Chains A and B, each alone.
Chain A
Amino acid sequence: MEKIEYTDEGQFFSGHVACAGCVEALSMRVILNTLGKDTVGVVAPSCSAVILGGHPMSAAKIPVLHGTLESAAASASGVKRALKAQGRDDTTVLCLAGDGGTYDIGLQALSSAAERNEDILYVCFDNEGYMNTGGQKSSSTPRNAATGSTPFGKTTRKKNLIEILAAHRIPYIATVSPSHLNDMAAKIAKAQTIEGTKVVIVLIPCLPGWGVADNDAVATARLGVESGVFPLFEIEDGVRYTMTKSDKSDAINGYLKKQKRYRHLTEADRADLQAEVDETWSRLLAQAETTV
């Protein structure tokens, strides 16, 4: 078990309205404290906006602009450029959005910000569905997962957003998990020092959305990482891949069993998912190995 070594600078307050046991709130706490107070946030409608919360209260010490669902990256670009024009180029501009706001409706704005290499840190809380609206599928929902709009399981695979982003050759992309908080803090700190568009994707096992027990989100995230369903890695300039963990356990069964959204799976479905994970994992390893 690792000791979590980060200093809480009081950038994230208790009393917020996340579901009890939500690891998105935990991740937000680590991210906000790592970035520190010279940060301005933009948040898209999503659980993170709800967690940051109701006016006039805010769970964040930094100021946050609550923007529209599809334009988080554009709004963050606007904040960054305006601060620059006013001589405040050092301020970090943090963009928070869910997977719906990133993989789906906000992809156009994100792609454009990435193409312009806007100097923003974009964090996507990937809970693999539209949880704020009650748990419908997004293009980040994995194959076979049941959601409100895919009651018998989604028939298509999860969109590989990371490869799409890598194709933009932005300076930094990373995946992080609330089961590995030191790694999360380190990657966020690293991203903050890099100029240009940085995207960090956070795995968020969602308690009601995935059917995970209230005390089990961290363990579920850990199994996701260890089984290779959600590999931890970094991509620099779209081409240099570095695996944070370059081994994985064979079985995704333990991960699947924690989640009610997969309880209808047959043996064959599980095998299909396992094959998909294995294939993605070996492609990733190969990419990391060719990186010099």
Chain B
Amino acid sequence: MKDLSGQPLIVLKGVTKIFGEGQAAVEALRGVDLRIDTGEFVAVMGPSGSGKSTCMNILGCLDTPTAGSFLFKGVDVGQLSRNSRALLRRHYQGFVFQGFNLLNRTSALENVELPLIYRGISAAQRKERALRALETVGLKGWERLTPGELSGGMQQRVAIARAIVTGPTVLLADEPTGNLDTARSREIMDLLTLLNRDSGITIIMVTHEPDMATYAKRIIHFLDGTVALDEKTGGKN
């Protein structure tokens, strides 16, 4: 992975995503242009079906655009091999899925350890860091339980812990507070604010709640697969 510092972290140029073919084709993204720099805290908003998750998946190198290009640190992700994209995910990104995507029948601790295993971190360090991440999201004492034994909100917090445990360059979170009550949501948002301010982690977060969006310094509004509004706000520092 070339390190091209000085380049913007994320650039989307005319990104289009079409699902299906012919009559059944759905145009989820229609020419999205976007630039996000290192250290930003971005909230993505918009009605259901407006293409927020689709865009996040592309930013997370999980999906590829039908047309247009995605540059990550100046590197055209579309030109990378599967392995290079996997390494990019491994070393630079943390992803919180809308549907959590935790391993079933696997303890919270082991779920959170997983990205560290692929990073080749030693067993002792792995455990320590995973425990710390779980403590950060308020799950101290719940480490041994499996997703099936945890509430939806707890599972969401395990997913967040798994995304931040590696200390990624960018944290992509698809509705990280969607299943949490207001108090918990605020805790998580405070945590994200802290990670953004103190660890310099770039945060891109999808949310439906205007309350939560106020934590971000920039809000991008999606509508019908395009960026309808891109506004700078104060954030809550």
A and B form one complex:
no
Binding site for A on B (CB under 8 A): none
Binding site for B on A (CB under 8 A): none
